[in-house]
Amino acid sequence: MRFMDVRETAEYLNVSISWIYKNSARSGLAAYKFGTGPNAKIRFKVSEVEAWVKQQREVGC
């Protein structure tokens, strides 16, 4: 099981890091939190990011 950090996920999706923090949960992109408090790390499962991208495909594109 592979995970990407916020920067890697933003680069993969070609969006800003701030977009990831503001919109990922709202848009259905699941995040995993490792740790607690200010040292917690947010990660995204690679397979779930890839599946999310496929769901975003517009019909007819």
Q: 10-48, pLDDT tens digit by residue?
A: 999 999 999 999 999 999 999 999 999 989 999 999 999
Residues 6+ apart with CB under 8 A from 7: 17
Q: Domains of the chain: which residue ranges?
A: 3-55
pLDDT at residue 58 tops 80? no
Angle CA(44)–CA(50)–CA(55) in degrees, nearest 5? 115
pLDDT score recorded for residue 57? 81
- By CB neighbour count within 10 A (0-12 exposed, 13-18 middle, 19+ buried), where does 5 fall? middle
Q: What is the pTM for the complete model shown?
A: 0.85
